[in-house]
Amino acid sequence: SQTIHQWPATLVQPVGSPLSLECTVEGTSNPNLYWYRQAAGRGLQLLFYSVGIGQISSEVPQNLSASRPQDRQFILSSKKLLLSDSGFYLCAWSVADRVSYEQYFGPGTRLTVT
């Protein structure tokens, strides 16, 4: 069966510090991968998605970036965090074909920028 991991689960970082959140998927190959941010009391905002190694599409321009160095690894990064980067970050995957259905979500990372 497929599983998706995210770490760390919780992170507190000062403003201006770098960020690296990691997501890995097991039990499938060539998945579509996604990063979302959920601000307090808000919906999910799609940040990045990837259809393959090294292929990243950005939905919202900001100081975050994403990379996919391996087929089942998706990394969210920042060189300098802002207070507005605080939130709950969710990684998700879906089967990479037209007839696929839902996205499968990881447990999330709660980021607090102080």
In terms of CB distance, is 100 or 112 closer to other proteins?
A: 100
Instruction: Work out how close the CB of 49 gets to other proteins at its nearest, in angstroms, rounded to a whole number.
Output: 5
Torsion sign, CA atoms 76, 63, 57, 43:
positive
Which residues, 6 or more positions from 62, have their beta carbon under 8 angstroms from its beta carbon?
47
Instruction: Work out how close the CB of 16 gets to other proteins at its nearest, in angstroms, rounded to a whole number.
Output: 27
DSSP string for 99-110: T----EE---EE
- Please answer whether residues 23 and 4 qualify as being in contact, where contact means their C-beta atoms are separated by less than 8 angstroms: yes
In terms of CB distance, is 71 or 108 closer to other proteins?
A: 108
Give the whole-angstrom CA distance, residue 50 versus residue 81. 23
In terms of CB distance, is 13 or 88 closer to other proteins?
A: 88
- Site residues (vs other proteins, CB under 8 A): 32, 34, 36, 42-46, 49, 51, 57, 59, 88, 90, 92, 94, 96, 98, 100-103, 105, 107-108
Instruction: Work out how close the CB of 51 gets to other proteins at its nearest, in angstroms, rounded to a whole number.
Output: 5
